[in-house]
Structure 1
């Protein structure tokens, strides 16, 4: 029989860890003195101790360690853990790449100007998602809504009369709405397009506009606040503009990789 210190030295497990594993039923000593509580291990347990240490060193959870050692399948548990770790690494790599994209995009200079805009009639359709799960607002979903609304506007002879835009605003019952809008040549009749369609007009207004144009191959970040929005609100703060209930509108101009740019605007 081996004392706990000897067993620790042979297996590479600390005495503290051995006591913990005993309490959890992972590596139970062969004998425990009733009076002193001193733990002693059988020589045949050295293999289980080494296996336990190897699996714990790579982060295998205690219940899985216990099961694998008891079943004689330590290598199988190691393979499962390897797949889990590799998946986590890939997820971390994607997160780092996205963060780098977002931070690089923030370095691109953004022009912010005031401009006068005429009244604009429009129609729009909203996509609603929970406010705590805005990742569901995908480009593909928005593109589908824009395409469908474009066909309806075109077929009705309403235009469209310019570039589309999106607006994000609070919805009902903890929802966030992404409203996909097309400007129209004239105001559509109330009820046009059905109950899911918003018919409205942006009144003549002064807008604060941020223009973001990619440079040196910079990409738009996905899932992050757009750098034009950041620059827009910086300009609001610098100019001391008091904002009430404000809707941020975003549109994309240009059709090729060489001439496209993003405009983000608010009415001031």
Structure 2
């Protein structure tokens, strides 16, 4: 027999946790001295301890661990529970990867290493687009909304040749904005689910080119562009544009080259 301290050392948990597992009925001692109350464990119980700790480390609640250990679920239910936990872990990994990319982009911004070219003051042509649009209230909604809309737009335009690069537009509206994901198809018929839109020509704008393997630094590039607008004594005015001249989906394995265009007055 093993004392509670010896068993805790071999199982890799604290004595306090072993007492807690005992109270919950997850891992009871093999023997409890009636006079001293000392707990003793059998070496064979290490297998259950390992299973318990492994399931707990996977993120299952102690209640779920108890059900799994005691075999109260049918095989299909166990598989469903494991798959649900797997999907939750995948979602958490995706969230963490997004946060990591955001942190790295901010570090590049602090180090002034954002992949931007020189600022250019120019005029902007009118654009004839087909698009989907949505009203955005929170900036945190932009990335998910735009990604989903561009996917739908390109699915609907699958067999229609493009007359120019893809374009995202952002039009201030009160405390929010109208965000649109658009493509240029010239005079081709507009499929159901899309709308035609015209972005007016602008006599004056400040632009900068963003390049990178992903879009994690594009927000910082926009910040740099707007800061430059203010530094020049200008005022942002009207609908701003992102023109996707090069994307990873062009077939040559390239990254992104996006012209950020801010009309000014």
What TM-score do the two structures reach when normalised by structure 1?
A: 0.58
In the aligned structure 2, how far is the partner of 1:54 from the partner of 1:116? 67
Q: CA RMSD in A?
A: 5.2
Q: 1:238 to 1:48 in 2, by over 3 A?
A: farther
**Matching of residue 40 in structure 1 with residue 39 in structure 2:** yes
Q: 1:201 to 1:176 in 2, by over 3 A?
A: closer
- Per the TM alignment, residue 147 of structure 1 is displaced from its structure 2 partner at its CA by 6.1
Answer whether contact 1:146 1:180 (CA < 8 A) is retained: no
In the aligned structure 2, how far is the partner of 1:19 from the partner of 1:134? 48
In the aligned structure 1, how far is the partner of 2:118 from the partner of 2:172? 27
Aligned to 1:248: 240
- Per the TM alignment, residue 59 of structure 1 is displaced from its structure 2 partner at its CA by 1.0
**Matching of residue 197 in structure 1 with residue 200 in structure 2:** no
Answer whether contact 1:8 1:15 (CA < 8 A) is retained: yes
In the aligned structure 1, how far is the partner of 2:118 from the partner of 2:49? 60
Aligned to 1:56: 53
> 3-state SS of the aligned residue for 1:114?
strand
In the aligned structure 1, how far is the partner of 2:193 from the partner of 2:226? 33
> 3-state SS of the aligned residue for 2:218?
coil
In the aligned structure 2, how far is the partner of 1:205 from the partner of 1:171? 22
Q: 1:148 to 1:184 in 2, by over 3 A?
A: same
Aligned to 2:75: none
Aligned to 2:17: 17
Answer whether contact 1:164 1:183 (CA < 8 A) is retained: no
Answer whether contact 1:129 1:177 (CA < 8 A) is retained: yes
Gaps of 5+ in 2: 72-77
In the aligned structure 1, how far is the partner of 2:25 from the partner of 2:122? 72
- Per the TM alignment, residue 263 of structure 1 is displaced from its structure 2 partner at its CA by 1.2
In the aligned structure 2, how far is the partner of 1:195 from the partner of 1:40? 69
Aligned to 2:146: 137
Aligned to 2:232: 239
The count of aligned residue pairs is 235
Aligned to 2:28: 28
What TM-score do the two structures reach when normalised by structure 2?
A: 0.59
**Matching of residue 229 in structure 1 with residue 228 in structure 2:** no
- Per the TM alignment, residue 251 of structure 1 is displaced from its structure 2 partner at its CA by 1.4
1:84-95 matched pairs, under 5 angstroms: 84=86, 91=94
In the aligned structure 2, how far is the partner of 1:140 from the partner of 1:195? 12
In the aligned structure 2, how far is the partner of 1:109 from the partner of 1:225? 9
Aligned to 1:112: 119
Cα-to-partner distance string for 1:167-212 (whole Å, 9 max, x where unaligned):
135789x996324154979xxxxxx998952444514421111123
In the aligned structure 2, how far is the partner of 1:194 from the partner of 1:136? 19
